[in-house]
């Protein structure tokens, strides 16, 4: 899995406790808002987010990384984490292909873009069904 991350992603660790959320990365806004809204997050907020290279959109998240969810979270299961990364890569390939498809029928392109956005939204929601301690 380390090879996949090193070969296909640019891994960045952000310590939001010390540095806050990075400015100019709109894709991270939902996480910033969640962090600021939920006081419990101030004591532990671990997750991973795969974003587009331009920082404007998310492709997926590993979701809740709370230690009390060790037995269900993507974060603590190598197979689930690998599948999550594969899903993000697939969505990136499809987004890139759609971006490059300048000759595609505009209605078809819009419909495919909506399907892809809906898929990302579903993945984000499914991964973030966090349990309260």
74 is a domain residue:
yes
Q: Which two tokens stand for residue 73?
A: 């979270």
Instruction: Determine the average pLDDT of the residues in 116-127.
Output: 91
133 is a domain residue:
no
Question: Per the structure, how many domains does the chain have?
Answer: 1
132 is a domain residue:
no
Confidence band (pLDDT; 50, 70, 90) for 61? very high
Q: What is the helix (H) or strand (E) element at residue 51, kind and residue range? A: strand 49-51
4-48 pLDDT per residue, tens: 887 888 888 888 878 888 889 999 998 888 888 877 777 777 788
- Given this model, what pLDDT does residue 63 score? 87
58 is a domain residue:
yes
HSE-CB for 81 with a 13 A CA cutoff: 16
Higher pLDDT, residue 5 or 56: 56
106 is a domain residue:
yes
Please give the residue range of the domain that contains residue 64: 2-127
- Given this model, what pLDDT does residue 11 score? 83
Backbone angles phi, psi at 50, to 5 degrees: -100, 125
43 is a domain residue:
yes
CA-CA distance, 22 to 19, in Å (whole number)?
Answer: 8
CA-nearest of 133, 49, 69, 59 to 94 is: 59
CA-CA distance, 83 to 123, in Å (whole number)?
Answer: 12
CA-CA distance, 9 to 28, in Å (whole number)?
Answer: 17
Instruction: Determine the average pLDDT of the residues in 99-118.
Output: 92
């Amino acid at each position: 899995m380390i090879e996949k991350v090193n070969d296909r992603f640019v891994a960045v660790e952000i310590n939001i406790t010390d540095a806050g959320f990075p400015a100019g990365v709109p894709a991270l806004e939902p996480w910033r808002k969640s962090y600021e809204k939920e006081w419990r997050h101030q004591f532990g907020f671990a997750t991973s987010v795969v974003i587009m290279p331009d920082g404007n959109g998310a492709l997926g998240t590993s979701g809740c990384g709370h230690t009390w969810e060790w037995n269900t979270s993507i974060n603590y299961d190598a197979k689930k984490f690998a599948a999550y990364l594969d899903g993000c890569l697939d969505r990136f390939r499809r987004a890139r292909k759609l971006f490059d498809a300048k000759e595609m029928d505009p209605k078809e392109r819009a419909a495919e873009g909506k399907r892809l956005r809906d898929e990302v939204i579903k993945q984000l929601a499914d991964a973030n069904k966090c349990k309260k301690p």
